[in-house]
Chains A and B, each alone.
Chain A
Amino acid sequence: MRKNIFKKALFVMLVTVLTISLAACGNSSQNQADNSESLPDEINFGILRVPNDETIAMVEGYFDDYFTDKGIETKFTVFDSGAEANQALASDSIDFATMGNINSVTALSRDLGVELIWIHETLGEIEALAVREGSGINEVSDLAGKRVAVPFASTCHYVLLNAIKDAGIAGEVQLLDMKTSEIVAAWQRGDINAAYTWQPSLGKLYEDNGVPLITSKEMAEKGYVTANVDVVKKDFADKYPELVTDFITLLAKAGDIYRNDPERGAEIVSQKLSITADEALNQMQGSTWHTKEELLSDRFFGTSDNPGEFAKIMKETSDFLVEQDSLDYSPSQEEFNQYVNPEFIEKSLEQMEGK
């Protein structure tokens, strides 16, 4: 009996100690932030396995050269989706993250202390709703009562929900939450009637009798723009603004390789993603990569004084997510104007012009 009391007392103590040490953890990370000026020992990047400028920069060793020269170690973690990247950002495990803009809306709404600094690409035919040829599904409204797979909380999910809503069949489609690899398996088994997904899994559906019903390109023309973006922890950006600027410069430089010579760009990413160069090129053509100048135009970031369209798109997306009950809180337009931050692109451009 005494032993048991002892055990429970120990447990209470443990809880108390744990609470205190947790609180201490919170403080220690703040202390780190105060200690500025010097460079960080390492930078952690959250990346997606997609053919984009970041992948080119990695294969070409841009980050290694640049950061290693400064004595900074770079670590890359691959996430299946931006939802996972958000969890890593929340726990302060990474400094930069690539994600779909849907997840970046979540990041602001849930106050993860990040800002959006770059658009890797705007999404077009790389994401599409595939249906089986000859299945009798010829328009979106035919999907009523059918089973459609999509990775939830993704750009595909957002576009699909809007397509269904516009077709007037909201609530009549059975949506199933699957990862991209699971979608391919379920498609091959015939468990699903349609799927909204991205490359490379989309290509596998096309190989197996699939045809696109709608693509994210068509939906973007209707105003449902989606993109893959890069976010950075605000603490990090405040402390090391020049590192963030140079990161943007490196991304743009990698993007130039693809713009100047698409075949070469495809060749480079194909090594990393273990696909053929043709496949890589095909996938890359399904999205649009933008130059710094384009990103600073009204269509996207705008300038520091004059916010562009993208902040409005983000606000619309956020309102939609609240309407869907996916988020509790939609930040104001003003907050989104702050969040979509052109500052580092501007600085990067100035540096280039200065040289």
Chain B
Amino acid sequence: MALTNKDQGVKTPKNKKKKNKVEKRLTIGTWITIFLAWYLVTKFELFSPTLVPSPMRVWNAFLKILDKGYNGVPLWSHLGASFKRLFLALFFAISSAVPLGLLSGYFTKIEAVIDSVVEFYRPLPPLAYYTLLILWFGIDDKSKIILLFLAAFAPIYLACVSAVRKINENYILSAKSLGATQKKIFLKIVLPASMPEIFTGVRTAFGVAYTTLVSSEMVAATSGIGWMVLDASNFLKSEVIFVGIIIMGITGVIIDFGLRFLEEKIVFWKGQV
């Protein structure tokens, strides 16, 4: 339980503590170096502020957006619009990909139906088929959510399939020999045993959907953090682009942290089996 996913099965808790100290410093050092490099590059005006805005300019742009919003829309509703799309898509992806993935892993016939389709569309760049989604579902949130849903579906589905495959067959056979029904085997053995990998799948899915968010807001949006960055690029407002990217980066880390926290609470046995 004390183990996080990152060092699962590799390090003992003892050297982890030691590691934390040195590595934390290195991480902090890295960020200080990045900020220092950024500051110095702008301080000596190596590039025009349009190419690399100074930290102060970015900070002021952030304060302005916080105060007045962007394009007359407050920052929180840009974030809200984006996260509404993102989480609705993730919700639908989880509630469809988990059952389908587990069933595919369990019954080869179901896998035969679904797997090739997922494998076909999974590597496609979302922008390639986004125009079709717009033609079919319109310019509103529906097409955006479907795009994010498709992006999130595949990683969860694949994680579930592989999770079921990895289950020690002896568990299932023993349960069967003890007279467990299919339903019981599924709920008591397959589902819990797959939980750790499902979580990994959800976290990957979140990452993929998050990277698709900007693309999804490229068309006919007037709100959303991704749209804000795109609109700013029309007028070369690089400080706003920086603000948008930093906000997206930080919220991404926070959400991933939240998912990891949930994972540790729900799948507390992970790494100990």
Contacts and interface: CB of A to CB of B under 8 A. Distances in A.
A45 B237 CA distance: 23
A176 B234 CA distance: 14
Interface string B9-43: 00100010011001100110110011001001100
Interface string A157-175: 0000000000000010011
Contact of B134 (A106, A174, A177, A185): A185
Contacts of B46: 22-23, 26
Interface stretch (A53-61, A270-278, A279-287, A324-332): A324-332
B30 A152 contact: no
A152 B236 contact: no
B219 A182 contact: yes
Q: How large is the interface on B (under 10, 10 to 19, 20 to 34, 35 or more residues)?
A: 35 or more
A5 B41 CA distance: 27
A8 B23 contact: yes
A177 B231 CA distance: 9
Interface stretch (B115-123, B198-206, B220-228, B242-250): B220-228
Interface stretch (B47-55, B159-167, B174-182): B47-55
Contact of A182 (B23, B49, B220): B220
Nearest to B230: A177
A273 B126 CA distance: 28
Contact of A8 (B27, B68, B219): B27
B139 A176 contact: yes
Contacts of A326: 235
A177 B227 contact: yes
Contact of A1 (B19, B49, B50, B72): B19
B214 to A, nearest CB: 14
Among B22, B135, B236, the most chain A Cβ lie within 10 Å of the Cβ of B236
Given A152-B231, A174-B222, A191 B19 contact: no
Contacts of B138: 186, 189, 191
B44 to A, nearest CB: 8
List the 7 closest A-B pairs by CB distance, nearest first.
Answer: A153-B234, A8-B26, A83-B234, A110-B50, A19-B37, A110-B236, A176-B220
